[in-house]
Every structure is written in C-alpha cells, then in structure tokens.
Amino acid sequence: MLRERSRGYLFSTFLTSLITSVTVGAVILIVIASGLVTRNAPNPQTPQGNTGGISPNAPLPQQIAAEAPADGPVAAAVAKSASPGVVGISVLRVDSNSILDRNTAQKWGVGSGVIVTENGYILTNHHVAGGKSKRIVVSLEDGRNVDGVTQWSDPVLDLAVVKVNLTGLTAIPLGDAKALQVGETAIAIGNPLGLQFQRTVTSGIVSALNRTIKIDTDQGSNYMEDLIQTDASINPGNSGGPLLNSRGQVVGINTIKVSSAEGIGFAIPINVAVPIIKQYMNNGDFTEPYLGVFAYDKEVIPYLDGNLKLDKGIYVVNVDEKGPAYKNGIKLGCIITQVDGKDVNTMMDLRTYIYSKRPGDTINVTRIQKGKVAPEVIGIRLSAKEKDGLITR
C-alpha cells in the first residue's frame, strides 16, 4: 500500500516537471521567433597585414570607433606584421677634425630604419645615417648584416635614404599621416639603447598633431614643424624607426624625444617622404628639386614676431639669392599661399609637393609681397640641388 502511494507520487512529480519544461521551452521559442531576443554580433577590429610596397593613392585608413586595447591583439598583430621590415643601422664615424690628427677615434652609432621597397631602399633619420661616415651596416631580422650606402639625406627634415644591395625584402606599407586623429593607437618599433634590444615594440596613442619644436644643430637653431607627438616610449636607438597606426602602416619616422619629461616623443609625418621613395622606385634615383626658400607657418610665427599674424600660407624667412625663387621675385617677407593651385599652409606642404617634381619642371607660385594685399601668380622653373647645397642648373 505504501509502495503504491510512493510510485504514484513519483509519477505525478515526473509528469508535472515534464509539462513545465515543455511549456517553458515553447515560450522561449516563441520569444526568439518574435524577435524579442537578438545576439550581439562580434565586430573584431584587426589591422590589415603587410601588403608590401607603397600605395599613396590607396583609400585613406578608416578610423575605428572602438579599437582593441593597445596591449591586445592590435599591437600584437602590428608587431608581427611590421617587425621584419624594421632594421638596425650601425654607422662608423671618425671623431676628428683632421685625418692627420693622431687622437683620431672611431665610434659606432646605432639607430633604426624602415624597409620601404623590396629592392633595398631604407628610410631613416639624417642624424642616424646622414653626413660623413666610414661605414654603414644594416642588420636584418633574419640575422644578416649587410653594408649600406646613404643615397640622400636632409638635415632640416632629419630624413635619409639608405640603399642595400638586396632584393626580396619585406617592405612595410606606408599610411597617411594626415588621416591621423589624436587619441588613436600608435606603435613604435626600434632598437633602443643598441642592437641588444633590437625590434623593441612599444605602444601608446597619438598625443597631438602638428607640433613645432625648436632644436639646436651644427648650423644653429632650427624649428621642426608638423611633427606627430606620441607617448609610445622612444629612446636613443629608436631614431629612424617607424611609428605605425593600428593597420600596421608607417605614419611617421621617429626622430626625437623630450629628455626632461616622460612619454613625449615626436615623429616626422611619412607624407613628405612618399614622393622621394616613389622617385627611387620609378627612376632608381632622386635628384632633389630646388626652389631656394625657407618659410614658417602660423604656428611658428609667434616665436619670431609676436606682432605678426598669419591666417594662411607660409611666411618666407630665408631666400637663396642664387636660387630660382629669388630670381623670380620671391623675397624675404613674402607669403606663399598656393603652388599650382594647391593650398600651402606649412613648409611640409611645400616640400611634399616640390619633391613630387623633377628639376626643370615649372611650378606656379601664388605669393603676396610684403606690404601688399593682392596675390600674384609667378612661374618658377625648379633647379637641381647637389649634396653640398649648390645649385647646378
């Protein structure tokens, strides 16, 4: 009797549980079918891999609304993609003013560089590979050490191009520094403190754009303009290495850090180097077209003259009297606003456009003479600049 009641109770409980489960399942199916419950589709943000070569006419990098953390998949993917294109550059210099000096000493300096073509063109800083040197050795990721030759350098831009006699190298794609936004991911790769720490990866953000800093050189004080400021750690030896965006594209060449503060480093926007690299790729050489002017933008003018206001254009502060600009009417105090109809608001704008030309090409410069209001358009035929700075034609 007791056993029959227990069996009846268990059967009743089982039947009740079964009915309840079926009912709940049916309700869930109805809710899902009616669209009241949806899934959050994943939206992975991964950088593009190394496409090789240079694509200055490619679509601009899209800005990602919400990136992964800099120490997460983005930085890891960029490091994996770009590291084969980063090299160490060791330069042997003679520390003496005379070859007859008995106290002559040889010193090695170490910096970084970026492979920009598969046939051996490397972009770095002038203060790394420019000037007189006895030997340049380029250290590749695969362990090879090969001799290099500096093909071109500019102390004002602090850029240089080194060539090694190799092919099949991994080139890092070049991006567009003008598309950068403050706050987006910035990744630096280089050789801080020497080759024992080669290809060190540091990450941070773009802290500011269009920075101007004053530096002292052998030729006196100089202003570096349009720099990218970043808090990605940069140390001695990082010079000449790439500053990359979250897509693994080079947007700048690391050049200098503020020694009196932490987390303040600067990179030269890559845009000014693109036309130079294209000429090496297309022609196998680059003869610098020469205009013969130096000018400052509205960000620098307050350092020079607090009473001078400049809304647009660049203010000419130095003119080579043997150069084509002077011969065609560009004088001290002129304001250059356009070249061939394109707005020019920084010296970097002017250089980038001039470097896309060849010696002998004619450009139309819109200038406003000092003390006048009306702009004038004048044609100027570019000459060629030799390495020693003399005009040859």
Q: What are phi and psi for residue 268, nearest 5 degrees?
A: -80, 130
Quickly count: other Cβ atoms within 10 Å of residue 48's Cβ.
Answer: 14
Report helix, strand or coil for 244.
Answer: strand
Give the active site residue among 112, 127, 139, 383.
127
Of 249, 231, 197, 208, nearest in space to 74 by CA: 249
Instruction: List residues bridging with 377 in a β-sheet.
Output: 366
Give the active site residue among 112, 126, 158, 176.
158
Give the active site residue among 81, 139, 239, 246.
239
127 among known catalytic residues: yes
Nearest-5° Cα angle at 115, 109 to 121:
90
Quickly count: other Cβ atoms within 10 Å of residue 60's Cβ.
Answer: 9
DSSP secondary structure letters along 29-55 = HHHHHTTSS---------------S--
- Enzyme catalytic residues: 127, 158, 239
